[in-house]
Structure 1
Amino acid sequence: MHAPSASTTRLPIGSDADLAWVRQQVRQTAAGLGFNLVQQTKLVTAASELARNALVHGGGGHMEMTVLTEGAHHGLRLSFVDAGPGIRDVELAMTDGYTTGNGLGMGLSGAKRLVKEFTLDTRPGQGTTVTVTDWVSGLPAPRTGAP
């Protein structure tokens, strides 16, 4: 299998206006790739939570939005990067229902449930990167030869 091709856009996360811009860009890109309305809403909700976390807890940062193409399949990878203090207790932060009260109340575990793939990389004093990936559903599997 070939590696997916990709194109990446970087958006700043430094203010509430940036959060709105991130949500808008994620929705427009997901819609353009063929994500249905439910998938779009899940991605935008996860992006909103993760961008707010980067702003509030990480002191700001950026989102890298990567359009993935693997044959006829399209996906979207969103990486939220900050250089803040990092997450001291990852296990606690990933606990269902854990929230600091500043976000949507869904926390990291809620964002994880909304997407197909979720990775978290954090180091005390060096920041956090959370990456989520989802693929357009409803497409037939790629063909692997003659019928």
Structure 2
Amino acid sequence: MAHPCRAARDPLKGATPAVRQSRPGGVLGWGASRSGNTRRARLLAWCVWPVAVLLMGSALGLARADDMPTYRLTAREGRFEPAELVVPQGVKFRLEITNAGRDPVEFESLELRKEKVLAPGVTSSLVFRPLDAGRYRFFDDFHQTTGQGAIVAR
């Protein structure tokens, strides 16, 4: 069945009034009368609600994203600065990673299931769920011997 927002052909168009009334609720469940105001209101609700939900979700997400603490990490010449980040446990946070070196880097943490590849001169961020107390290792996949670090949740 076609989406009601599209101009769908009415399968009961041209049918006798007896046929229309014999179908309780109508074909699309809008009622046998299909008054113009009711139909327009339902079409509007059907077509507009997904957009309204997305806008409300975006507004709420932006409000919470600004309240989130941000920690900065710089990758340079195969090393991370600082090598150890201390974050509060149980708090969602953002990690902003900057590649200040000449080579690409890949921030990766198997324990946290996060990875991000950055070209030279690029800054990007990752959002982390609230962490339990502990030490979570990360590394640069392109410089595994020197690019080691940890996020410590306390």
TM-score exceeds 0.5: no
Structure with the greater relative contact order (CA < 8 A, sep ≥ 6): 1 or 2? 1
* Higher Rg of the two aligned structures: 2
| TM-score, reference length from structure 1 | 0.23
| TM-score, reference length from structure 2 | 0.22
Structure with greater proportional helix content: 1
